[in-house]
Amino acid sequence: MRKTAEFVSPKHPDKLCDRISDNILDYCLTQDPNSRVAIEVQGGHGFININGEITTNIKSELPINDLVEEVVGNEYRIQVKITQQSSEIAQGVDTGGAGDQGIMIGYACNDNDEMVPEEYRLARDLCRYIYDSHEYDGKTQVTIDSENNITHIVASFQNTPYEELDHRTYEWLENQGVNPHSITRYLNPAGDWEQGGFDADAGLTGRKLVVDNYGPRVPIGGGAYSGKDPSKVDRSAAYMARYIAVQELKFCNKVDSDDTEIYCQLSYAIGRKEPIQAVCWNQDGESWNVEDHYEVYPNDIIEFLDLKKPIYYETAHWGAYGNGFKWDKE
């Protein structure tokens, strides 16, 4: 069975929106760690729209234009509509309840040291390798077989002629210990291109959900991450579910278990701190409750993972999993 995953560069229009959202969030948390933030960004073709809710004790006016310019420069017309968090939502969150209902999935596997699906790791690694020398809009895609051998790669990068893309992917495959001549490669398959980012396409915060998680092989709960403070469990509980999956996989390995994949699901109701479901299962479908070993109330998650710090902008570049964040570690 073949498995395929894709990744996009930080200059992809959807990722530009994620980065703007998280840059605003990090600024708010730097000034007031208790800020409540839910920021959505839509951008494209010379225009950026910022909408959402921010409740904070920051005394000065938020430098929204400056925070946008730090990500994309100053050639855009910016429209901002920000209000405070709904008091009806706040009354549930203020008592330690979840900021929304939701289902969060965590995952860890033995495919590699990053404990993410191998096709996902490879797609991200290839994207990063090309981007390091060509910091432009771009996408990669990697297909592997049942033995985790690469069979196909796809790469499309702005301002990167076919010959250069051929050279970079050839180098990358050699670095993976793979004979480049044995791999089917589709490089700029629609032709070389110069117009990218917001000049070529519109972007939206949270539209790369599968890229932000583990690739298409692993189910996701459906909630986006970027622009949301940790009171929103679709972000904080997803990170905790990843942490639990990592710990459970490592524990299984220590006791000589045959488990190679661990899934964790945390589910909540808005305004309630007790999870509706907190369960792990392995690749064979065997399941077990995790509440006896992990604190999964929203405020406990925030404190344990130290989530009131401005750490989120970095997650919007290359993903939140397998990049050495606290929830990836023992």
User: Which tens digits make up the pLDDT trace of 143-155?
Assistant: 999 999 999 999 9
Structural contact between residues 229 and 38, judged by C-beta atoms closer than 8 angstroms: yes
207: left (phi over 0), alpha (psi -120 to 50) or beta: alpha
The average pLDDT across 303-327 equals 97
pLDDT at 255 over 70: no
DSSP-assigned letters across all residues of 247-272:
HHHHHHHHTT----EEEEEEEE-BT-
pLDDT at 243 over 70: yes
Nearest-angstrom CA–CA distance, 32 and 76: 28
Helical (H) or strand (E) element with 38: strand 36-44
CA within 13 Å, CB half, 154 = 12
Tokens of 102: 């939701």
User: Which tens digits make up the pLDDT trace of 262-292?
Assistant: 999 999 999 999 999 999 999 999 999 999 9
Q: What is the pLDDT confidence band of residue 330, given thresholds at 50, 70 and 90?
A: low
User: Which tens digits make up the pLDDT trace of 151-191?
Assistant: 999 999 999 999 999 999 999 999 999 999 999 999 999 99
Q: Tokens 């208790």, residue? A: 34
Architecture field, domain 102-112+219-317: 2-Layer Sandwich (3.30)
Nearest-angstrom CA–CA distance, 26 and 310: 4
Topology given in CATH for the domain delimited by 3-9+117-198: GMP Synthetase; Chain A, domain 3 (3.30.300)
How is the chain split into domains, by residue range? 3-9+117-198, 15-91, 102-112+219-317
Structural contact between residues 232 and 37, judged by C-beta atoms closer than 8 angstroms: no
- The size of the chain, in residues, is 330
Percent of the chain with pLDDT over 90: 91
Nearest-angstrom CA–CA distance, 276 and 102: 10
Q: What is the pLDDT confidence band of residue 257, given thresholds at 50, 70 and 90?
A: confident
Closest CA to 24 of 14, 36, 12: 36
- Domain 3-9+117-198 and domain 102-112+219-317 have a common topology: yes
Topology given in CATH for the domain delimited by 15-91: GMP Synthetase; Chain A, domain 3 (3.30.300)
Q: What is the pLDDT confidence band of residue 93, given thresholds at 50, 70 and 90?
A: confident
Asked whether the CA dihedral 306, 229, 118, 165 is positive or negative, the reply is: negative
| Beta strand 203-204 pairing with 287-289 | unpaired
pLDDT at 88 over 80: no
Nearest-angstrom CA–CA distance, 228 and 234: 9
